[in-house]
């Protein structure tokens, strides 16, 4: 009799575990599908061939200067909290469109070297 109760209890526990696990998998699948759908939707909304923000320069907490490409023309725009103003149009020759910023690359290299030195020194002490 006692063995039957133990087997019945363990089957009941296993059934509860499988039910909760199945619900978890369903919620996980719904989350995955929703994330994929929203990602595709946002990608479609953000796809622009004729508009591109080339570079942004922060003037203060909520004021920026931005170089914007519209078609084949480039503009400098001032962006504030509640306003956007056209400053001027500039030619493509006046803009450095190189993708790599050497100053930031050198800074990153310096930080990486410092971190490597600290790690090796810590390893030597042990």
Can you spell out the DSSP letters for 16-83? HHHHHHHHHHHHHHHHHHHHHHHHHHHHHHH--SSEEEEEEEEEETTEEEEEEEETTEEEEEEE-SS-
The model's pTM: 0.45
Q: What is the mean pLDDT of residues 45-49?
A: 67
Q: Is the pLDDT of residue 5 over 70?
A: no
Q: What is the mean pLDDT of residues 72-98?
A: 90
Q: Is the pLDDT of residue 46 over 50?
A: yes
Q: Is the pLDDT of residue 1 over 60?
A: no
The DSSP call for residue 87 is E
* Bridge partners, residue 67, by sequence: 55, 76
Domain map (residue ranges) of the chain? 1-47, 51-94
Q: Is the pLDDT of residue 12 over 60?
A: yes
Distance in angstroms (rounded) separating the CA atoms of residues 79 and 85: 7
Q: Which of 47, 48, 54 is nearest to 76 (CA)?
A: 54
């Amino acid at each position: 009799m006692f063995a039957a109760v133990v087997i019945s209890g363990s089957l009941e526990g296993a059934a509860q575990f499988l039910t909760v696990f199945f619900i978890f998998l369903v919620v996980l699948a719904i989350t995955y599908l929703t994330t994929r759908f929203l990602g595709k939707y946002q990608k479609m909304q953000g796809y622009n061939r004729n508009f591109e923000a080339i570079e942004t320069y922060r003037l203060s907490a909520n004021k920026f200067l931005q170089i914007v490409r519209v078609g084949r023309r480039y503009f400098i725009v001032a962006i504030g909290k509640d306003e956007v103003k056209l400053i001027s149009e500039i030619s493509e020759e006046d803009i450095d469109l190189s993708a790599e910023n050497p100053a930031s690359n050198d800074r990153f290299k310096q930080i990486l070297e410092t971190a490597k030195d600290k790690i090796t020194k810590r390893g030597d002490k042990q």
